[in-house]
Amino acid sequence: MLRASVTLSILLLATAAANAAELETFDLWPGKAPGETGDLPSESTLPDQGPKKVVRLTNVTEPTLTIFPAPEDRRTGTAVLVCPGGGYNILAWDLEGEEVARWLNSIGVTAALLKYRVPRRKDRAKHEAPLQDAQRALSLLRSRAEEWHIDPKRIGILGFSAGGHLSVATSTNFDRRQYESLDEHDRASCRPDFAVLIYPAYLVEEGQTDKLAPEIRVSAETPPMFFAHAGDDRIGPENSIALYLALKQAGVPAELHIYECGGHGFGLRDSEHPCSQWPARCEAWLRGRGLLPE
Protein backbone atom coordinates (compact mmCIF):
# COMPACT_ATOMS: atom_id res chain seq x y z
CA MET A 1 0.00 0.00 0.00
CA LEU A 2 2.80 2.43 0.89
CA ARG A 3 4.63 1.68 -2.36
CA ALA A 4 1.47 2.36 -4.38
CA SER A 5 0.95 5.69 -2.57
CA VAL A 6 4.55 6.77 -3.12
CA THR A 7 4.33 5.84 -6.80
CA LEU A 8 1.12 7.84 -7.17
CA SER A 9 2.71 10.87 -5.48
CA ILE A 10 5.72 10.72 -7.81
CA LEU A 11 3.45 10.48 -10.85
CA LEU A 12 1.39 13.46 -9.70
CA LEU A 13 4.48 15.61 -9.15
CA ALA A 14 5.96 14.64 -12.51
CA THR A 15 2.71 15.29 -14.34
CA ALA A 16 2.25 18.64 -12.59
CA ALA A 17 5.72 19.76 -13.68
CA ALA A 18 5.19 18.57 -17.25
CA ASN A 19 1.79 20.22 -17.64
CA ALA A 20 2.31 23.45 -15.72
CA ALA A 21 2.99 25.52 -18.84
CA GLU A 22 0.26 23.87 -20.96
CA LEU A 23 -2.89 24.69 -18.99
CA GLU A 24 -5.65 26.60 -20.71
CA THR A 25 -8.35 28.38 -18.71
CA PHE A 26 -11.34 29.99 -20.35
CA ASP A 27 -14.74 31.41 -19.40
CA LEU A 28 -17.70 29.06 -19.69
CA TRP A 29 -20.17 31.68 -20.81
CA PRO A 30 -19.81 34.24 -23.63
CA GLY A 31 -21.23 36.90 -21.31
CA LYS A 32 -22.74 37.00 -17.85
CA ALA A 33 -23.67 33.56 -16.52
CA PRO A 34 -27.42 32.83 -16.50
CA GLY A 35 -29.28 34.41 -13.60
CA GLU A 36 -26.33 36.34 -12.18
CA THR A 37 -27.32 39.59 -10.44
CA GLY A 38 -23.91 41.04 -9.60
CA ASP A 39 -24.64 41.29 -5.86
CA LEU A 40 -21.68 39.23 -4.60
CA PRO A 41 -18.23 40.49 -3.56
CA SER A 42 -15.22 39.68 -5.70
CA GLU A 43 -13.97 36.10 -5.92
CA SER A 44 -11.57 35.31 -3.10
CA THR A 45 -9.51 32.61 -1.42
CA LEU A 46 -10.49 32.05 2.20
CA PRO A 47 -7.90 31.72 4.99
CA ASP A 48 -6.82 28.14 5.56
CA GLN A 49 -8.54 26.26 8.38
CA GLY A 50 -7.69 22.92 9.94
CA PRO A 51 -4.88 20.45 9.37
CA LYS A 52 -5.66 19.58 5.73
CA LYS A 53 -4.31 22.83 4.25
CA VAL A 54 -7.00 23.26 1.60
CA VAL A 55 -7.24 26.15 -0.88
CA ARG A 56 -10.89 27.29 -0.63
CA LEU A 57 -12.41 29.55 -3.27
CA THR A 58 -15.65 31.47 -2.84
CA ASN A 59 -17.74 34.21 -4.47
CA VAL A 60 -17.33 32.64 -7.90
CA THR A 61 -19.48 34.59 -10.35
CA GLU A 62 -17.47 33.97 -13.54
CA PRO A 63 -17.25 30.18 -13.98
CA THR A 64 -14.23 28.80 -15.82
CA LEU A 65 -12.89 25.56 -17.21
CA THR A 66 -9.19 24.69 -16.94
CA ILE A 67 -7.90 21.99 -19.28
CA PHE A 68 -5.21 19.65 -17.95
CA PRO A 69 -4.21 17.74 -21.10
CA ALA A 70 -3.06 14.16 -20.73
CA PRO A 71 0.63 13.75 -21.58
CA GLU A 72 0.96 12.90 -25.26
CA ASP A 73 2.78 9.62 -24.57
CA ARG A 74 -0.02 8.42 -22.26
CA ARG A 75 -3.05 9.98 -23.93
CA THR A 76 -6.06 7.63 -24.02
CA GLY A 77 -8.76 9.88 -25.46
CA THR A 78 -10.79 9.70 -22.24
CA ALA A 79 -11.64 12.97 -20.48
CA VAL A 80 -13.22 13.83 -17.12
CA LEU A 81 -14.93 16.97 -15.88
CA VAL A 82 -13.76 17.48 -12.25
CA CYS A 83 -16.16 19.09 -9.75
CA PRO A 84 -14.62 19.98 -6.36
CA GLY A 85 -16.78 19.89 -3.26
CA GLY A 86 -17.44 22.49 -0.59
CA GLY A 87 -21.11 22.40 0.39
CA TYR A 88 -22.05 24.65 -2.55
CA ASN A 89 -20.46 27.46 -0.50
CA ILE A 90 -16.76 27.11 -1.38
CA LEU A 91 -14.63 25.02 -3.74
CA ALA A 92 -11.89 22.81 -2.27
CA TRP A 93 -9.74 23.82 -5.19
CA ASP A 94 -6.52 21.89 -4.65
CA LEU A 95 -7.66 18.91 -2.54
CA GLU A 96 -10.59 17.99 -4.79
CA GLY A 97 -9.59 19.80 -7.95
CA GLU A 98 -6.00 20.35 -9.08
CA GLU A 99 -4.63 17.26 -7.33
CA VAL A 100 -7.34 15.11 -8.90
CA ALA A 101 -6.72 16.55 -12.36
CA ARG A 102 -3.03 15.62 -12.07
CA TRP A 103 -3.88 12.09 -10.97
CA LEU A 104 -6.15 11.72 -14.00
CA ASN A 105 -3.29 12.93 -16.21
CA SER A 106 -1.04 10.26 -14.68
CA ILE A 107 -3.37 7.52 -16.01
CA GLY A 108 -3.70 9.12 -19.46
CA VAL A 109 -6.95 11.02 -18.92
CA THR A 110 -7.46 14.65 -19.90
CA ALA A 111 -8.99 16.56 -16.98
CA ALA A 112 -11.21 19.61 -17.20
CA LEU A 113 -11.39 21.37 -13.82
CA LEU A 114 -14.68 23.19 -13.35
CA LYS A 115 -14.81 26.38 -11.30
CA TYR A 116 -18.57 26.51 -10.79
CA ARG A 117 -20.57 29.21 -9.07
CA VAL A 118 -20.53 29.35 -5.27
CA PRO A 119 -21.86 30.21 -2.71
CA ARG A 120 -25.52 29.28 -2.94
CA ARG A 121 -27.60 31.91 -4.70
CA LYS A 122 -30.53 33.53 -2.92
CA ASP A 123 -33.94 32.25 -4.03
CA ARG A 124 -32.38 29.51 -6.18
CA ALA A 125 -31.93 25.80 -5.50
CA LYS A 126 -28.45 25.12 -4.12
CA HIS A 127 -27.39 23.29 -7.29
CA GLU A 128 -29.23 25.32 -9.93
CA ALA A 129 -26.42 27.65 -11.01
CA PRO A 130 -23.70 24.96 -10.68
CA LEU A 131 -25.81 22.57 -12.80
CA GLN A 132 -26.00 25.18 -15.54
CA ASP A 133 -22.21 25.48 -15.38
CA ALA A 134 -21.65 21.72 -15.51
CA GLN A 135 -24.02 21.23 -18.44
CA ARG A 136 -22.34 24.03 -20.37
CA ALA A 137 -18.90 22.60 -19.58
CA LEU A 138 -19.80 19.13 -20.87
CA SER A 139 -21.20 20.54 -24.10
CA LEU A 140 -18.05 22.60 -24.58
CA LEU A 141 -15.82 19.58 -23.98
CA ARG A 142 -17.78 17.50 -26.46
CA SER A 143 -17.97 20.20 -29.13
CA ARG A 144 -14.21 20.88 -28.89
CA ALA A 145 -13.16 17.26 -28.46
CA GLU A 146 -11.00 17.15 -31.57
CA GLU A 147 -9.07 20.23 -30.47
CA TRP A 148 -8.24 18.62 -27.10
CA HIS A 149 -7.55 15.13 -28.51
CA ILE A 150 -10.44 13.50 -26.64
CA ASP A 151 -13.11 11.04 -27.70
CA PRO A 152 -16.55 12.74 -27.54
CA LYS A 153 -18.06 9.39 -26.51
CA ARG A 154 -15.69 8.97 -23.54
CA ILE A 155 -16.27 12.10 -21.47
CA GLY A 156 -17.10 11.51 -17.80
CA ILE A 157 -17.67 13.56 -14.68
CA LEU A 158 -16.06 13.20 -11.23
CA GLY A 159 -17.18 14.96 -8.07
CA PHE A 160 -16.59 15.10 -4.33
CA SER A 161 -19.24 15.82 -1.69
CA ALA A 162 -21.36 18.69 -3.10
CA GLY A 163 -19.43 18.20 -6.32
CA GLY A 164 -20.60 14.59 -6.19
CA HIS A 165 -24.19 15.80 -5.93
CA LEU A 166 -23.54 18.10 -8.87
CA SER A 167 -22.10 15.20 -10.85
CA VAL A 168 -25.20 13.10 -10.16
CA ALA A 169 -27.59 15.96 -10.96
CA THR A 170 -25.74 16.43 -14.25
CA SER A 171 -25.86 12.70 -14.97
CA THR A 172 -29.62 12.48 -14.35
CA ASN A 173 -30.84 15.75 -15.89
CA PHE A 174 -29.06 15.79 -19.26
CA ASP A 175 -32.48 15.74 -20.95
CA ARG A 176 -33.41 19.01 -19.24
CA ARG A 177 -30.87 21.69 -20.07
CA GLN A 178 -31.17 24.32 -17.37
CA TYR A 179 -30.63 27.32 -19.66
CA GLU A 180 -31.55 28.44 -23.15
CA SER A 181 -29.04 27.24 -25.73
CA LEU A 182 -26.61 30.02 -26.62
CA ASP A 183 -24.50 28.87 -29.56
CA GLU A 184 -23.22 25.93 -31.60
CA HIS A 185 -21.49 24.43 -28.54
CA ASP A 186 -24.86 23.82 -26.89
CA ARG A 187 -25.90 21.58 -29.76
CA ALA A 188 -23.53 18.97 -28.29
CA SER A 189 -24.94 16.65 -25.62
CA CYS A 190 -24.43 17.49 -21.94
CA ARG A 191 -24.77 13.84 -20.86
CA PRO A 192 -21.66 12.41 -19.17
CA ASP A 193 -20.64 8.97 -20.47
CA PHE A 194 -19.75 7.83 -16.93
CA ALA A 195 -19.55 9.27 -13.42
CA VAL A 196 -17.16 8.88 -10.47
CA LEU A 197 -18.66 9.87 -7.13
CA ILE A 198 -16.46 10.26 -4.05
CA TYR A 199 -18.41 10.72 -0.78
CA PRO A 200 -21.32 12.40 -2.63
CA ALA A 201 -23.68 14.53 -0.52
CA TYR A 202 -27.37 15.51 -0.64
CA LEU A 203 -28.47 12.51 -2.70
CA VAL A 204 -31.25 11.46 -0.32
CA GLU A 205 -34.17 13.41 1.07
CA GLU A 206 -33.35 15.20 4.33
CA GLY A 207 -34.15 12.96 7.28
CA GLN A 208 -34.48 9.86 5.09
CA THR A 209 -31.92 7.28 4.03
CA ASP A 210 -33.67 5.40 1.25
CA LYS A 211 -35.47 8.06 -0.80
CA LEU A 212 -33.52 9.97 -3.43
CA ALA A 213 -33.78 13.76 -3.62
CA PRO A 214 -36.27 14.90 -6.29
CA GLU A 215 -33.60 16.25 -8.64
CA ILE A 216 -31.95 12.80 -8.85
CA ARG A 217 -33.88 11.21 -11.74
CA VAL A 218 -32.50 7.72 -12.39
CA SER A 219 -33.43 5.95 -15.61
CA ALA A 220 -32.02 3.29 -17.90
CA GLU A 221 -30.22 6.15 -19.72
CA THR A 222 -28.27 7.20 -16.62
CA PRO A 223 -24.52 6.68 -17.21
CA PRO A 224 -22.51 4.00 -15.33
CA MET A 225 -21.18 5.10 -11.94
CA PHE A 226 -18.35 4.37 -9.50
CA PHE A 227 -18.73 5.20 -5.79
CA ALA A 228 -16.31 5.50 -2.86
CA HIS A 229 -17.54 6.45 0.62
CA ALA A 230 -16.38 5.98 4.22
CA GLY A 231 -18.72 4.30 6.70
CA ASP A 232 -17.94 6.90 9.37
CA ASP A 233 -18.53 9.88 7.07
CA ARG A 234 -20.70 12.55 8.72
CA ILE A 235 -22.43 12.75 5.33
CA GLY A 236 -23.48 9.14 5.52
CA PRO A 237 -22.79 6.42 2.97
CA GLU A 238 -26.56 6.03 2.68
CA ASN A 239 -26.28 8.68 -0.03
CA SER A 240 -24.15 6.39 -2.17
CA ILE A 241 -26.06 3.25 -1.20
CA ALA A 242 -29.48 4.66 -2.11
CA LEU A 243 -28.30 5.76 -5.53
CA TYR A 244 -26.46 2.49 -6.14
CA LEU A 245 -29.64 0.53 -5.44
CA ALA A 246 -31.66 2.79 -7.74
CA LEU A 247 -29.10 2.28 -10.50
CA LYS A 248 -29.21 -1.49 -9.99
CA GLN A 249 -33.00 -1.46 -10.27
CA ALA A 250 -32.75 0.57 -13.50
CA GLY A 251 -30.19 -1.84 -14.97
CA VAL A 252 -27.37 0.74 -14.93
CA PRO A 253 -23.85 -0.66 -14.25
CA ALA A 254 -22.33 0.62 -11.01
CA GLU A 255 -19.57 -0.24 -8.54
CA LEU A 256 -19.81 0.69 -4.85
CA HIS A 257 -16.97 0.80 -2.28
CA ILE A 258 -17.85 1.50 1.36
CA TYR A 259 -14.71 1.73 3.53
CA GLU A 260 -14.92 1.23 7.28
CA CYS A 261 -13.35 4.57 8.15
CA GLY A 262 -11.87 7.69 6.62
CA GLY A 263 -14.40 10.39 7.47
CA HIS A 264 -15.26 13.11 5.00
CA GLY A 265 -13.07 15.10 2.64
CA PHE A 266 -10.15 12.69 2.25
CA GLY A 267 -9.62 13.50 -1.43
CA LEU A 268 -6.83 11.32 -2.78
CA ARG A 269 -4.11 12.30 -0.33
CA ASP A 270 -2.18 9.51 1.42
CA SER A 271 -3.53 8.34 4.77
CA GLU A 272 -3.47 5.33 7.07
CA HIS A 273 -7.00 4.43 5.97
CA PRO A 274 -7.83 2.02 3.12
CA CYS A 275 -10.13 4.68 1.64
CA SER A 276 -7.00 6.37 0.25
CA GLN A 277 -6.72 3.48 -2.20
CA TRP A 278 -9.90 4.43 -4.06
CA PRO A 279 -7.94 5.86 -7.05
CA ALA A 280 -6.50 2.40 -7.78
CA ARG A 281 -9.97 0.84 -7.57
CA CYS A 282 -11.35 3.56 -9.83
CA GLU A 283 -8.57 3.09 -12.36
CA ALA A 284 -9.35 -0.65 -12.47
CA TRP A 285 -13.04 0.15 -13.00
CA LEU A 286 -12.21 2.51 -15.87
CA ARG A 287 -10.04 -0.18 -17.47
CA GLY A 288 -12.79 -2.74 -17.06
CA ARG A 289 -15.20 -0.46 -18.89
CA GLY A 290 -12.79 0.03 -21.77
CA LEU A 291 -12.13 3.68 -20.93
CA LEU A 292 -8.44 2.98 -20.36
CA PRO A 293 -6.29 0.37 -22.14
CA GLU A 294 -5.78 -2.99 -20.44
A 10 A CB-CB count for 3 gives 7
Output the pTM of the full model.
0.93
| Residue 162: C-alpha distances to residues 11, 201, 257, 279 (Å) | 27, 5, 18, 19
Map out the domains of the chain as residue ranges.
2-35+56-288
Tens of pLDDT, residue by residue, the chain (294 residues): 444 444 455 455 544 544 444 799 999 999 999 999 888 999 999 987 777 789 999 999 999 999 999 999 999 999 999 999 999 999 999 999 999 999 999 999 999 999 999 999 999 999 999 999 999 999 999 999 999 999 999 999 999 999 999 999 999 999 999 999 999 999 999 999 999 999 999 999 998 888 999 999 999 999 999 999 999 999 999 999 999 999 999 999 999 999 999 999 999 998 899 999 999 999 999 999 999 998
A 10 A CB-CB count for 288 gives 12
Task: Give the class (CATH, top level) of 2-35+56-288.
Answer: alpha beta
AA letter at 257: H
Q: Which residues pair with 196 in a beta bridge?
A: 158, 226
- β-pairing, 64-68 with 225-230? unpaired
